[in-house]
Every structure is written in C-alpha cells, then in structure tokens.
Amino acid sequence: MTTIYLTGAISTEGDNPFAWHEDIIDDERYTEQTFINPYDLNDFGLGDDGIYERPSEVVEPSLAAIEDIDGMLVRWDDDAFLIGTTMEILYARMQDVPVVIWYDGWKDNLSPWLLYTTRARFAERDRALEVLITFAGDDTFL
C-alpha cells in the first residue's frame, strides 16, 4: 500500500482547518492508499503554546514519518506561512521521496527552491495526487 504524507496550508474556510486533509482521506477513489496528516502525529493542537517549549515532539515524529512514506502532497498557498512545510519538502527530497505541489497560483510566484525540490505542480488536487501516486510506484491511476 502506498503511503502519502499530506502537508501544507491548512484550510481557512469553515470551522475545520484540516478539511482538505480529511477530504482526501475520505475520498473513495483513494482507498488503496494510506495518508498521513502530520497534525495527527502528536498531541498538540493548533495554537498550542507547548509546541514552542517542546519542538522536538512536533518535528521528530514528522521526520520519522517522512522516512517511511512513498510520496508527499503539498497544498501550497501564497498567503500561508509555510516554513515547516518547506523543511518537510527538503527532508523528503533528501530521502528520495517524490514531492508534488497542489497549487492554483502562478508558477512564477513559487520559489526556485520549491521548483527544484519538487517533481511537479498541478492546480487540480486530484491530478496532483494521482500523478504523485504514480511517481510513488503505484499504478492505480495508469
């Protein structure tokens, strides 16, 4: 089973900041894949001040998870502060894990670092995810 790590901007619409993560996890087209939401890897909540006192409890589970994944999907948003996401992307690249960006903005707005460390970028979520799954060696969508 292919394991995909879901990272990037949280949802700003509605009451659920993890809506896009959950939409993918619950999507019946992706029942053959396993998804990791990095926010589920520890006991901290959004806005929890404890993350600043014990950052290792946030970072180390994510690094360990990235070492065991087959691919990483990044939801990029120009207006979000995604410093942790960029660290996850670089670490995935160092592990030879394919990274695909789901981004509906203008390509020229992306940093050359993002273009270099990722394999592809797509405006449509499902296209990004299906190409990533294929990059990860899963032929479900071929």
Residue 10 has a pLDDT of 85
Tokens of 135: 């990059």
Measured CA to CA, the distance from residue 67 to residue 24 in angstroms comes to 21
Measure the CA angle with vertex 74, ends 134 and 52; round to 5°: 140
Query: What CA–CA distances, in Å, run from 110 to 1, 36, 86, 101, 106?
Result: 31, 24, 12, 10, 8
DSSP-assigned letters across all residues of 24-35: HHH-GGGTTEEE
| pLDDT classification of 46: cutoffs 50, 70, 90 | low
Measured CA to CA, the distance from residue 107 to residue 114 in angstroms comes to 10
Q: What is the mean pLDDT of residues 72-99?
A: 95
Using only the alpha carbons of the chain, give its radius of gyration: 14
Tokens of 77: 């948003």
Q: What is the pTM of this model?
A: 0.94
pLDDT of 142 above 70: yes
Residues 117-135 pLDDT 10s = 999 999 999 999 999 999 9
Measured CA to CA, the distance from residue 134 to residue 141 in angstroms comes to 7
Helix (H) or strand (E) holding 74: strand 71-75
Closest residue by Cα to residue 106 from 115, 98, 97: 115
Question: What is the topology classification, in CATH, of domain 2-135?
Answer: Rossmann fold (3.40.50)
Whether 13 contacts 44, CB under 8 Å: no
DSSP tag of 39: G
Residue 48 has a pLDDT of 75
